[in-house]
Each structure stands twice: as structure tokens, then as C-alpha cells.
Structure 1
Amino acid sequence: MRLSLKRRGWRRPVSPHIRLLRLLFGIFCLLYALAVIGVGFDVKPPFSMDWAASLLLYLEGILILMAAALVYSMRRALGAGFIVLVLSFLVETLGVNTGFPFGHYSYTSILFPTLPGGVPLPVLFAWVTIILGVYSWFRSRRPGLRLSTVDVLLAGLAVMLLDGAIEPVAARITGYWRWVYDASFFYHIPLQNFAGWFVLGTFCIWLVDRQFAPVPRPRIEPPRMAFWLPRLLFACSLFMFGIVDLTHGYYGGVICAFLSALLLAFYARRR
């Protein structure tokens, strides 16, 4: 009598896509640990780490797109990534050169390369990670359904709260960008910036939902990693910026990170 494939220990072959995903995730884990320790506790290695921030942002964006390709299809994932990259580039370029919609700011040379218009390419990959990461927490697992208006607005709020944790770190500690005019609101960061983040984040979530939903039924069930990785990447961002804010006394940023995490946790349980 022939043994079943399961009893004989047969496993589905691991595709090159998944192998590469695992390899890149391993590299991300190493760089992430170095970033948390280095920035959070001011630990300086004996060699230059100027390249690490850009590489980490590239890795996060690529990882989240690769995971989305396994869940939604390569075409949908690339389409969503293209939408966020182009829209964030246009809005960031407008912001750097006119002060609208975020306020007057400029990027330094730490993140590279810098695109025409004064926006570093890693910033666009950061937008991809943020938008697709938040979406992974809010999306419905039931095929045929899109996010409601309330869902989209709350997702935009989660994006804005993350920026509340990012701003003290990026503008005051690491120096990724500088605000031209100091404001009296939230560590001298203008209120206009957070309104801009909320509007852009909400609109991007809405566009991505139109690209991804309804969720197709794949012929082969995607690996579990494809579902939890986008959530983990966004949670890692919240944790890292929250820790750095905490160790440097920016408690408003800590509160923003906590509120965003609380919103996502509540929403995940609701689903």
C-alpha cells in the first residue's frame, strides 16, 4: 500500500520568490537591530553606517511588495507600488519646493540618491512600506469586500500617528530632513505637516484598496509569511521610532507610536 505524500514527509517545493524573500528578511533583521541599538542608544560603530538608513528603507519597500505579490498577484502588487511611489514623489516634490502640503522643509544628503526635485529615493520606498503596511492591518480577509469609509479614515489616522513618532527622530536626531521655519507645535514641527500626512495617507490607502480589493482566491495558498510580514514591518517601524523617541526624551513621539499601535491592535482583533 502506497504511503500518502504527507505521511512520507513530502513538502511543497520552496519557490525562488520565497527563498529570496527569506534571505532579504534576514538581512533586514540584521540592519534593523543595528539601527535600533545605534540610533536608540547612541552606539557608534568603528566604521561608517551612512549607507545603512537608505538600504534599510529599500529593503522594507521591496519586502512588502514581494509579500503583496504572493497574496494579491505580481501585477496588483507592482501596480499598488507604482501608485504610491509616483503619488508620494509628486507630493513630496511639491512640498520641498513650495511648502505645500507639509510646510517648508528640505532633505539633507544622508538618504541617497536624491531625485530631481530634491526628494531622496529611499523616502518614496518608505511611503510604500507605510501605506502597504497599514493596509495589511486594516484589510478585510473576506473576498469581495473593500474597506469602508471609516476604515480608510482610521488607516489614514494610523499613518499620521506614525509620522508623529517619525518627525522628532528624522528631523531632530538623525537629520534626514530639516524644517525651514520652527513652529510652536509638537517639537517645532508645523501642524500643517500632520494634516498633509493624514490627507495623503488616507488617499493612498483608498487607492491601494481599489488596486487590491476584492482579494483574489489564489490557486495555491500563499505562505503565512506573506500575510504577517507586512504587518511586522509596520510594527517594527512603530517600535523603532517609539524606542528612539523614548531614549531621547521625545515623549510626544512615544505617545503617537503607542496610539497608532493601539489602533492597529484593536482593529486586528475586530477583524
Structure 2
Amino acid sequence: MTGTPTLRRPGTRAVVPLVLALLLVATAIAYPLTDGSARDAVSWAIVLLGSGVSVSHAALSRGLRTGLATAALVAVVAVLAEALGLATGFPYGEYSYSDVLGPTLLGVPFLVPLAWLLMAWPSWLLAARLAPRSRPVRVLVAAYVFAAWDVVLDPQMVQAGYWRWAHPEPGLPGIDTVPLTNLAGWLLAGLVLMTLLDLVVERTARPGPPAVGDLAPLLTLGWMTLGGALAHAGWLDLPGSAAWGVVLALPVLAAVVAQERARRR
């Protein structure tokens, strides 16, 4: 009898990241329907909700130490990488932020590390599901998903006036506002971040399997990439990034389907 409350609590607590993810989806749907200051508020809400999904899920699934360590790691790596990029142009290319994003640390708006957190944990989780036994493969997959997500995100943020590149070309075909150096930079940053995140989870996670499932962060990942591509194609007049979002998602979707088929055999 004494163990009964303990068994029930993870299921109840699992609702927290799921509710945040559903609120994020609803807020993201509102993004293309707004403009001006209302759109700025929606952008902040999406990032806050998404980072909340990541931290709450990491803490509930693998323990509070993992949740706090993940948040701290991503924040530090994000600020250092972005500050380096602003000061030197490496590794993303020469770019600048607008004042609309508010307070900064080392020139990096507070919104930016929160956006990294929104993206990093779901990217690592998906990779962990696809490559549970191989750290090098897991890190490569996570870095790929992390960078591919940004291919959809960056043109939208440039369009909103949040940041811009001094030399946006050459870029991917159909995307003329974001240079290829940015994609290379995200792949490099992703490799560094996902290597460190993998080690952090290994060293801080409580023993045993995760206490809650991965629905909430994977819903966040799926909606922000494929839902974002849909918004780009249908409402935001960004067909290039919409197409690339789908193209880059196809190998990951194929791997997920192949894994599910293998499990059912």
C-alpha cells in the first residue's frame, strides 16, 4: 500500500509537459495569424512554453538533476556560441540581432538560449530513441535534427525582423536570407552541444528507465518542424524553407518508421 502513491505520481506529473506542449501547438497556430507586437508576444510565448516542455520533461523523466543540468548546459553553450558568432562571425556568418528581442547577455538576447533549450532536448530525445546503443550515431542524429530544425526557424525569424545576416548568400536554394555558413555553424554547434548533453544525461539521470514517456517533446519537435513548414508554405510566404523542412525531415521519418516496423517483428 505504501508504494501506491509513488506509482501513480509519474503518470500525473507527466501531464505537465504535455499540457505545455499542447499550449505551444495552439500558440504556434496563432503565429501566422498575428503581426506586429502581437506576433512578438506569440514568439516569446512559444519559446517559453517550449523551453518549459524541455526542462519539465527532462526533470520528470530522468530526475531533477538532469532537468537542471540540461537547462544550465544548454544556456551556457548557447550564450558562448552566439557571443562568439556575434563577435567574430564564426561559425554562423556575420549577423546581428534587433533590439526588439529585449535584454541581452554578452550581446545575446535572453530569448536565444531559451530557444536553444526548446530545440535541444527534443532533438536529443529523438536521437536517443533511434540510436540507443551508439553514442557517436546518437550525437550525429541529434546534431542533424537540431540543425534541420533551424533551417525552418531562421527564415521565419529573419522575416519577423529578429535578426539578419550581413551576407546572406549563398544559401540553400529557395532561401535567400540565410547563408550556408549558418547551417554549417548549427551542425558544428549541434555536435558540441549534443556530445555534452549526452554525457550530462548519462551522469545525472536516475537509475532505471525514464519515468514518463516522450510524447510531449516529440510533439513539440514534430509540430515546430512539420507544422512550421506548413505555416511557411500556406501563410508566411516562405516556400523555400517549407520545402527544405520537409526534405530534411524525410530521412528522420523514414528511420522512425523502419524502427517501428523492426520492433513489431
TM-score (norm 1): 0.79
Cross-structure match for 1:24? 20
**Aligned-pair identity (%):** 22
Cross-structure match for 2:52? 62
* CA–CA distance in structure 1, aligned partners of residues 71 and 157 of structure 2: 23
Deviation at 1:25, TM superposition (A): 4.0
Q: Per residue, is there more helix in 1 or in 2?
A: 2
Equivalences for residues 81-230 of structure 1 within 5 A: 81-112=71-102, 114-140=103-129, 147-171=134-158, 173-186=159-172, 187-213=176-202, 216-218=206-208, 222-224=211-213, 227-230=214-217
**Rg: which structure is higher?**
1
Does the CA contact (< 8 Å) of 2:24 and 2:46 recur in 1?
A: yes
Structure 2 vs 1, CA of residues 254 and 22 (structure 1 numbering), >3 Å: closer, same or farther?
closer
Structure 2 vs 1, CA of residues 19 and 245 (structure 1 numbering), >3 Å: closer, same or farther?
closer
Does the CA contact (< 8 Å) of 1:102 and 1:192 recur in 2?
A: yes
The size of the alignment, in residue pairs, is 249
1:12 to 4, 8, 19: 8
Deviation at 1:97, TM superposition (A): 2.2
Equivalences for residues 255-266 of structure 1 within 5 A: 255-266=243-254
Structure 2 vs 1, CA of residues 49 and 161 (structure 1 numbering), >3 Å: closer, same or farther?
closer
Structure 2 vs 1, CA of residues 202 and 267 (structure 1 numbering), >3 Å: closer, same or farther?
farther
Q: Does 1:33 align with 2:21?
A: no
SS of equivalent to 1:181: coil
* CA–CA distance in structure 1, aligned partners of residues 130 and 92 of structure 2: 34
Does the CA contact (< 8 Å) of 2:17 and 2:56 recur in 1?
A: yes
The worse-fitting range, judged by mean Cα deviation, of 175-184 and 229-238 is 175-184
Structure 2 vs 1, CA of residues 62 and 30 (structure 1 numbering), >3 Å: closer, same or farther?
same
The aligned amino acid for 1:181 is H
* CA–CA distance in structure 2, aligned partners of residues 51 and 181 of structure 1: 28
* CA–CA distance in structure 2, aligned partners of residues 13 and 182 of structure 1: 50
Cross-structure match for 1:3? none
Does the CA contact (< 8 Å) of 2:130 and 2:255 recur in 1?
A: no
The aligned amino acid for 1:258 is V
CA shift digits 1:181-208 (9 cap, x unpaired): 3423231422211111001012211111
* CA–CA distance in structure 2, aligned partners of residues 266 and 29 of structure 1: 24
Structure 2 vs 1, CA of residues 217 and 265 (structure 1 numbering), >3 Å: closer, same or farther?
farther
SS of equivalent to 1:61: helix
Q: Does 1:268 align with 2:264?
A: no
Q: Aligned-pair RMSD on alpha carbons? A: 2.9
What are the ranges of 5 or more consecutive residues in structure 2 without an aligned counterpart? 260-265
The aligned amino acid for 1:261 is A
What are the ranges of 5 or more consecutive residues in structure 1 without an aligned counterpart? 1-5
* CA–CA distance in structure 2, aligned partners of residues 19 and 159 of structure 1: 25
* CA–CA distance in structure 2, aligned partners of residues 82 and 199 of structure 1: 20
The aligned amino acid for 2:79 is F
The aligned amino acid for 2:250 is L
The aligned amino acid for 1:155 is A
Cross-structure match for 1:52? 42
The aligned amino acid for 1:194 is L
TM-score (norm 2): 0.81
SS of equivalent to 2:101: coil
Does the CA contact (< 8 Å) of 2:155 and 2:177 recur in 1?
A: no
